[in-house]
Structure 1
Amino acid sequence: MAPYIRPENPSASWMNPARLSDDDFVMKDGRIFLGRTKDGRTIGVDDNRHVVTIAGSRAGKSATSLMSNLLTWDGSAMVVDPKGELATNTALHRAKMGQDVFILDPFGEVTGEAEKFRASFNPLDELRAGGPRDVVDDASTLADALITSDGRTNDHWSMSAKNLIRGLCLYALHRRPQDASLVDVRALLTSPAEREKKAPAGAPLALADHFEAMTKEDAFDGVLAGMGSTMAGKPKSERGSIISTAIEQTSFLDSIPMREHLAEQGLTSMRALKRKPTTIYLVLPSSRMGTHFRWLRAVLTQAMTALERTENATRRPVLFVLEEFPTLGHMRLIEASAGLMAGYDVKL
């Protein structure tokens, strides 16, 4: 416990065990479960700060801390669950608590009765849910999650690729307002760069044709036309490098299980977490983390953006459970938002 901080001397100290009998440590609804005493009393804390569990491998962090809290927390929860163990062991119980349960599990890691809660999620649905005023900014946020930078201060190719992906997301939505998905964005991106001179009539449009079509659209207050003009006006070699960067960084969209997951109907908006008691599990095995982590980044980014803008109609903060957090790699979004999340009724 650290009731105060003095820069010159450490101030942390062990709490007197006798205090566990105080009402402050009695487990009640809306409290974080800590464990049980030797005489069987259940201990919980009500604290508006975030919580981290640190222990060695195979120490039982999931079973003793994460699963226990998912079995007791009666508010909404967003659960990053790489191995699918939390979903497999707690999804049915949370459904019986009255929660709407969705397991986003493109590679089928979840087993048993929890399989019936497996659902899909199309990130472009979240752009639709945000409304016309926010759709351009939300497309930028999604593109930022899908295209990662190498950390250089002037990463022209990554920044340009983000702008391209933003434009293609908007273009896909404009062409197919009701059912466009990231699969459509990938199809546009991997179209032939230029139309062949002797292409037969009815041949699929080249990417250059799509850029030209964008210039004639007034959708999204001219943003689409501007994107088309920008790409069409770039030198061929520069345009090719930008397209190549975007293709490389979205290659996970060629995965058949991922394409099936993105193209199906399912969860329509992360705003559900604040509108009614809802639990969403994100399952991505470690064997796919290196190649498909951008999907996880995209979903988490959209969840945080949605929760920031949505008024909480439930009784509790939304609990973000980040299992095996170090395996996710550096996520700037989590780092930048951690100190602000409590104000959005989100608890890590």
Structure 2
Amino acid sequence: MSKGYKAVYLIFCAGIAFLVWTLAYGVVLGVIYKDSRILNITITENPFAPLQQVWAYASNPTLQRVTIAALLPAIASAVFAGYLGLRAHENPLGDAAFQDVMGLRRGKWFRKKGHIFGRFGRNVLRAADSRHHLIIGPTRSGKGAGYVIPNALMHEGSMIVSDLKGEIFKATAGYRKKNGSQVFLFAPGSETTNRYNPLDFVRPERGNRTTDIQNIASILVPENLGSENSVWQGLAQQVVAGIISYVLESPYYHGRRNLGEVVSFVNSGVDLQAQIKFIKEKEQNLSKYTVESFNAFLALSERAAASALLDIQNALRPFRNERIVAATEVTDMDIAAMKRRPISIYLAPNITDITILRPLLTLFVQQVMNILTLEHDPNSLPVYFLLDEFRQLKKMDEIMTKLPYVAGYNIKLAIIIQDLKNLDEIYGETSRHSLLGNCGYQLVLGANDQATAEYASRALGKRTIRYKSESRTIEILGLPRRTKVEQIRERDLMMPQEVRQMPENKMILLVEGQRPIYGDKLRFFNTQPFKAAEAYSQSHVPDVPTIEYLPHRPVPALTTEYANDGQQVVEQTILPLPSRSQMHEETPHQAVETYSPSIPAAGVTKQANNRTVNLIVKFPSTGKDKKSAIPPANIDYRIEEVEAKLKPSAERLLKAVNEKVEATSTSLRKRKSYLDIFNATVPDAENIGLMTKVTL
């Protein structure tokens, strides 16, 4: 019952009390003092006669006693009327209801600052707390116009927005820059973009470094535990982690530590196992994690290694695109400063490239969240993750894991989907329930599917419906008898079909700990100040740097300089690691020779008889024997030299075989029968004296 209704009813009860008092006043005078004139005047002429008499003779003790006696039934009648009218009806089957204006005012929904959800009449609905948001609405239901753009314009703090269509950047970036926020656009695959290198955010400390590398590898090469290839995927993940670790620590990659180099490493055109073994022998100061990852790959058979390599190459396909490689070569965004000063980052890949770019976007979102949760500072700047088209980002386990507690780090997530099936197909029903439970505000802008409509209907709750039925019967002697019965039943506050048929300008807001809100959708282009802010942004779109293509550089391990360098390496790593202790020391008078398998180059020379010559390359174990190392560039020349030396021997061998064939008069190509073999090997019985020749 609203406050207005209660006020009117209380006035009505006061009127009843006054009427009862005037009648009781006249009755008391008539009964006790045998004077009924006041009662007659009150009933027939002037209802205020008792009040006028009391006012005129206020000092009369008799009238004072009569006045007090008349108040008793008046008060009793008012209380009884109030009880009947204001008592709360029992609703055993539910009392769900939408909030009214007074409830919204008590909840401070009409505040001037906060995140925007819609309208209630002329008032904008805003909330200013740390609870996460879930926005559900089919295509063209107003998710962008009613929630995304207004909040992207007005959020005070840092923000990360997934902008797959590129519309949010144009509509909001200019206004945010005007209000003091640094604005960056990460659009891999485009000619204009800011740059982000995931390897720049690997922490150098032991343990942390390994964890960060494994997280990157698990996103780039996801392991599907239910798949038949999960074993190979897990192995591929381990190899990628080892290669990333090598790129981060090898001095030969100084100034070029990025995922593009990782891709070049696995697509170098040479045998990967031989290449890794070559590197292990050349660089003996690699970290334990790198060496163990390399050893796991070297222990594989040729077939298993090829299968793992295929998984790696498929997973790293996006980084074979020159634009994507250029966009991830370095980092020009200070992500770690997002909690100290306002920074706005827009993720805007081409919608046509979303399939191949999805791992990179997922890696960005999860890595940023990891960085922002390293330190807990309640007074830090709030960071707002506005994840539009959440389904396109696919599975992000890190978000689902951290969703329950990142609010304590001043991080708020807004997850925008078209329907609940989007969550089920990616995370499963159990994870979907967990996500719904962690989102304190759930904005339903419409529902085109039954699952979403049923969820909204259940979340709104049920209310008790009362209705009366009347029956008539004829008693003895023909007297009629009427019986009235009040019945109750439950009803959804909004049934699923009512949710699906909701007017296009209406929305439902489910709030944790409060009654739901049934309000109007906000349209930024019809509402100030959002309309003016969006117009300013459209006319002041920030400049985005043009991408820079750097010249292609070969894999260091395949260069002549690398082969000639021996073990004399100047340590210039960005992430310094302690050296591994030497297991065996070499004496001055001993020279230990280390052999590595050949690295077959593209285009190995083959002879006419289909022979392939493989060269065993000897690598020195110390820097004193540099000259004995054979550069990969000279391998083809050495192959030809060895084959030239073998040619005379081959000709002599062929000549000897031909002479033997002519001497035996038997062609090597003619198969012998068993009789020929028997005659040639079993002696005649007569010749050995077992039989005597008889002459007749």
> When the two structures are superposed, what TM-score results if normalisation uses the length of structure 2?
0.43
Per the alignment, residue 68 of structure 1 pairs with 150
CA contact (8 A) 1:277 1:314 kept: no
Query: Given the alignment of the two structures, is residue 180 of structure 1 paired with residue 257 of structure 2, yes or no?
Result: yes
Residues 265 and 76 from structure 1, CA distance in 2 versus in 1: closer, same or farther, beyond 3 angstroms? Answer: closer
Amino acid in the other structure paired with 1:45: A
Map 1:263-302; keep pairs closer than 5 Å.
263-267=329-333, 270-302=335-367
Per the alignment, residue 305 of structure 2 pairs with 239
Distance of 1:234 and 1:84 partners within structure 2: 46
1:50 to 132, 139, 148: 132
CA contact (8 A) 2:340 2:380 kept: no
CA contact (8 A) 2:164 2:389 kept: yes
1:160 to 232, 235, 243: 235
Query: Given the alignment of the two structures, is residue 336 of structure 1 paired with residue 407 of structure 2, yes or no?
Result: no
Map 1:1-348; keep pairs closer than 5 Å.
13-22=97-106, 24-29=108-113, 31-39=114-122, 41-108=123-190, 118-127=193-202, 130-133=203-206, 134-152=208-226, 155-175=230-250, 176-194=253-271, 208-214=274-280, 216-220=283-287, 222-267=288-333, 270-312=335-377, 315-348=380-413
Amino acid in the other structure paired with 1:252: P
Amino acid in the other structure paired with 2:322: I
Q: How far is 1:291 from its partner? A: 2.1
Q: How far is 1:299 from its partner? A: 0.8
Q: How far is 1:58 from its partner? A: 0.8
CA contact (8 A) 2:380 2:410 kept: no
Q: How far is 1:27 from its partner? A: 3.1
Distance of 1:308 and 1:120 partners within structure 2: 22
Distance of 1:144 and 1:13 partners within structure 2: 47
Residues 157 and 16 from structure 1, CA distance in 2 versus in 1: closer, same or farther, beyond 3 angstroms? Answer: same
Residues 311 and 278 from structure 1, CA distance in 2 versus in 1: closer, same or farther, beyond 3 angstroms? Answer: farther
CA contact (8 A) 2:366 2:396 kept: no
Identify which range, 78-87 or 324-333, moves more after superposition: 324-333
Distance of 2:247 and 2:97 partners within structure 1: 57
Q: How far is 1:337 from its partner? A: 2.5
Count of aligned positions: 317
**1:150 match: secondary structure:** coil
Q: How far is 1:275 from its partner? A: 3.1
Residues 335 and 168 from structure 1, CA distance in 2 versus in 1: closer, same or farther, beyond 3 angstroms? Answer: same
Residues 311 and 65 from structure 1, CA distance in 2 versus in 1: closer, same or farther, beyond 3 angstroms? Answer: same
Amino acid in the other structure paired with 1:263: E
Distance of 2:346 and 2:95 partners within structure 1: 38
Q: How far is 1:344 from its partner? A: 2.9
Q: How far is 1:161 from its partner? A: 1.0
> When the two structures are superposed, what TM-score results if normalisation uses the length of structure 1?
0.83
Amino acid in the other structure paired with 2:336: R
Gaps of 5+ in 2: 1-91, 414-696
Amino acid in the other structure paired with 1:336: T
**1:25 match: secondary structure:** coil
Gaps of 5+ in 1: 1-7, 110-114, 195-205
1:176-217 Cα deviation digits (max 9, x unpaired) = 2443110000000112342xxxxxxxxxxx552234424644
Distance of 2:399 and 2:264 partners within structure 1: 30
**1:65 match: secondary structure:** helix
Distance of 1:338 and 1:10 partners within structure 2: 31
Q: How far is 1:23 from its partner? A: 6.5
The CA RMSD over aligned residues, in Å, is: 2.5
Determine which structure has greater relative contact order: mean sequence separation of CA pairs < 8 Å that are 6+ residues apart, divided by chain length: 1
Q: How far is 1:235 from its partner? A: 1.5
Which one has the largest radius of gyration?
Answer: 2
Distance of 2:404 and 2:145 partners within structure 1: 27
**1:52 match: secondary structure:** strand
Per the alignment, residue 51 of structure 2 pairs with none
**2:118 match: secondary structure:** strand
Amino acid in the other structure paired with 2:266: L
**1:164 match: secondary structure:** helix
Identify which range, 133-142 or 286-295, moves more after superposition: 286-295
Distance of 1:9 and 1:273 partners within structure 2: 49
Distance of 2:356 and 2:104 partners within structure 1: 46
CA contact (8 A) 2:198 2:364 kept: yes
Q: How far is 1:313 from its partner? A: 7.9
**1:142 match: secondary structure:** helix
CA contact (8 A) 1:276 1:314 kept: no
Amino acid in the other structure paired with 1:138: D
Identify which range, 306-315 or 86-95, moves more after superposition: 306-315
